[in-house]
């Protein structure tokens, strides 16, 4: 389903997809700058790219020197159009044109500092030292003939390179992500100074175009939504409601037993405000909790929840209680959900989204799905909601995962003590991460948050870049016992632990909303981990992050007064041993732990 109801212009810039988590983010950033772009497979023959003004080769999880790694047609370098390689694309250019690429001893994940080395059209008006965003271990160690090194970081001598005569450039970092301070200007320099593009695309006023496409996709059928009350499903539902009318669109909220305190009533109020008779609640909590009994693996949790959603959905639809005649399923899926589930041709699966499990894939194959937002990012969805006139109270809600509290309640098979390292304490807890565009599942490092000279977030980034066995660092804020006395305990997803997580989550939300801190961050997950003592077997991890679209995120420190209040209130809860703060940016740590 495309964003436009009219034929788009010919793409001036094509993004070649080598499997990077940010592939569509690149295309989106180019469109934001007013230039229409499209994504093609990395192996697209050069002859099919004739006539364009520029090519961008995306990042990806592979190594260029490995068998089976994504390739590009070398003919693209002779087309005469400008070429920009990002991360893996940077390495691909070096590999094909006679440079050298090697696996590094020390990767870079997250924030880094670039020093530009010489003038270049790519860095016009943004020369000098600047913050960038890295996610790599391999590095270009020798530039190809005709190229010059244009920028370096502390651990990457060739973080930028270029051949001005042939208009071919490579960047080891990611200018497309918001945390690269001058990224938008660097991309603009490539588009307008190097490629010579003209503005031909306006990303605003999307509602009318999407509604036209909904009508075509529905083709006379009704649309039924299983809504969560979050921004995405509500905006998608409202688009269908406007496009098809209230007699053809229905919404049902499935109470899975995995939601936060007060969630069902909030959702009911939101949809009652959209119209009468279009919304109902189905209590399926017993079924979900039964299906999850004994499930501890995070990917298995997501699969079980996703398949249970489909099973409940199909039974409800088959009952005929809500819609008669032909129907299709509506979903609020946005692009990061499909990217992290391996939604592009070569992307590594970071975590399976519940909207992309096999049951949903069957419905997609049968043309029984409408996903109005599937190519949009969270910030674009919010703008679309404003265009539809939805209230800011809804649009500014923090994202909440479809699987609910299940993926914020970590489980363990057995009990193990923490291990003392020179750099901190290694906790026998595993969390999902994304490093070099690949999924990782590794232990967590604990740092003491006692006053220290070095910034904890900087220290965490250094530890992750140096210690290959971890992908996440947390700081011990306060505890009933020292970190060295803690152990994991065998723990499952049970009613007792879910209720404990609901209580601590409610405490955190209350304090964050009352102090206004919730408006300073993009999302504030609260995670319950089975780490503590026999009397207090669980601990709480606080995960405030700042982001734009969820593809990258910066870990945010807690204000002192809020930190003190949360530690005091959380440690008073039954069964809670310690309070931690997650110091990890994305990458290398995903926003959610599972």
**Residue 408 CA: distances (Å) to CA of 24, 112, 317, 400:** 27, 29, 30, 11
Q: Tell me which of 23, 24, 81, 87 is the catalytic residue.
A: 87
Contact call for residues 81 and 107 (beta carbons, < 8 A): no
Q: Tell me which of 81, 90, 136, 176 is the catalytic residue.
A: 176
Evaluate the CA torsion angle 261, 265, 267, 270 in order and state its sign. negative
Does 87 qualify as catalytic in the annotation? yes
Nearest to 471 by CA among 586, 588, 594: 588
End-to-end CA distance of the chain: 29
Q: Tell me which of 174, 354, 374, 457 is the catalytic residue.
A: 174
Helices (H), 320-448: 335-340, 358-365, 378-388, 392-395
Residue 228 and residue 253: Cα distance in Å, rounded?
A: 6
List the structure tokens of 123: 């860095």
**Residues forming beta bridges with residue 149, ordered by sequence position:** 161
Answer left, alpha or beta for residue 133, where phi above 0 means left and psi between -120 and 50 means alpha. beta
CB neighbours of 193 closer than 8 A, spacing ≥ 6? 121, 122, 124
Helices (H), 292-373: 298-319, 335-340, 358-365
List the structure tokens of 472: 């996440």
CA 307 to the chain's CA centroid = 22
List the structure tokens of 289: 């909790």
Nearest to 201 by CA among 42, 383, 38, 15: 38
Residue 263 and residue 577: Cα distance in Å, rounded?
A: 27
Check whether the bond before 361 is cis (ω within 30° of 0): no
Nearest to 525 by CA among 545, 510, 511, 547: 545
Q: What is the DSSP string of 50-111?
A: TT-SEEEE---SS-TTSTT-----GGGGGSSSEEEEETHHHHHHHHHTT-EEEEEEEEEEEE
CB neighbours of 499 closer than 8 A, spacing ≥ 6? none
Contact call for residues 74 and 47 (beta carbons, < 8 A): no
- Catalytic positions are 87, 174, 176
């Amino acid at each position: 389903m495309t964003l436009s109801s009219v034929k788009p212009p010919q793409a001036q810039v094509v993004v070649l997809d080598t499997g990077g988590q940010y592939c569509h983010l690149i295309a989106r950033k180019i469109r934001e700058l007013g230039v229409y772009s499209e994504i093609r497979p990395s192996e697209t023959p050069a002859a099919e790219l004739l006539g364009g003004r520029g090519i961008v080769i995306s990042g990806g999880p592979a190594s260029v020197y490995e068998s089976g790694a994504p390739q590009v047609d070398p003919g693209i370098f002779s087309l005469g159009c400008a070429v920009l390689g990002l991360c893996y694309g940077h390495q691909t250019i070096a590999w094909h044109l006679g440079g050298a690429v090697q696996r590094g001893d020390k990767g870079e994940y997250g924030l880094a500092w670039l020093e530009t080395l010489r003038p270049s059209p790519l860095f016009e008006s943004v020369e000098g030292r600047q913050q960038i965003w890295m996610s790599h271990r391999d590095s270009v160690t020798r530039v190809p003939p005709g190229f010059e090194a244009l920028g370096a970081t502390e651990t990457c001598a060739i973080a930028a390179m270029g051949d001005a005569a042939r208009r071919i450039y490579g960047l080891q970092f990611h200018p497309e992500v918001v945390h690269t301070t001058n990224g938008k200007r660097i991309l603009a320099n490539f588009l307008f100074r190097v490629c010579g593009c003209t503005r031909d695309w306006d990303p605003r006023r999307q509602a009318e175009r999407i509604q036209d496409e909904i009508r075509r996709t529905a083709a006379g059928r009704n649309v039924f939504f299983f809504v969560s009350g979050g921004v995405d499903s509500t905006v998608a539902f409202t688009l269908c409601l406007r496009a098809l009318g209230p007699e053809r669109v229905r919404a049902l909220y499935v109470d899975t037993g995995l939601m936060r305190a007060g969630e069902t009533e909030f959702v009911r109020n939101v949809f009652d405000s959209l119209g009468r008779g279009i919304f109902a609640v189905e209590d399926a909590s017993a079924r979900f909790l039964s299906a999850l009994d004994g499930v501890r693996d995070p990917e298995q949790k997501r699969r079980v929840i996703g398949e249970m959603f489909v099973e409940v959905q199909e039974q409800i639809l088959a009952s005929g209680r809500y819609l008669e005649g032909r129907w299709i399923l509506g979903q609020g899926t946005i692009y990061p959900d499909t990217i992290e589930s391996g939604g592009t041709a070569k992307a590594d699966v970071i975590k399976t989204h519940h909207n992309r499990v096999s049951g949903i894939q069957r419905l997609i194959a049968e043309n029984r799905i409408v996903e109005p937002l599937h190519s949009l990012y969270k910030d674009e969805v919010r703008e679309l909601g404003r265009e539809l006139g939805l209230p800011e109270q809804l649009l500014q809600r923090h994202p909440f995962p479809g699987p609910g509290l299940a993926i914020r309640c970590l489980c363990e098979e057995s009990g193990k003590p923490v291990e003392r390292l020179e750099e901190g304490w290694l906790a026998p807890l595993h969390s999902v991460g994304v490093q070099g565009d690949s999924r990782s599942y590794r232990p967590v490092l604990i740092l003491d948050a006692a006053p220290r000279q070095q910034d904890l977030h900087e220290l965490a980034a250094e530890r992750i870049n140096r210690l290959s066995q971890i992908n996440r660092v947390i700081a011990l804020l306060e505890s009933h016992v020292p970190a060295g006395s803690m152990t994991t305990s065998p723990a499952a997803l049970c009613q007792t632990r879910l209720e404990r997580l609901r209580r601590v989550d409610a405490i955190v939300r209350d304090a964050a909303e009352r102090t206004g801190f919730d408006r300073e961050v993009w999302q504030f997950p609260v995670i319950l981990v089975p780490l503590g003592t026999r009397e207090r077997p669980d601990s709480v991890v606080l995960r405030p992050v700042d982001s734009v679209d969820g593809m990258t995120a910066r870990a945010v420190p807690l204000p002192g007064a809020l930190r003190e209040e949360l530690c005091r209130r959380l440690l008073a809860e039954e069964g809670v041993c310690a309070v931690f703060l997650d110091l990890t940016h994305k990458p290398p740590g995903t926003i959610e732990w599972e």
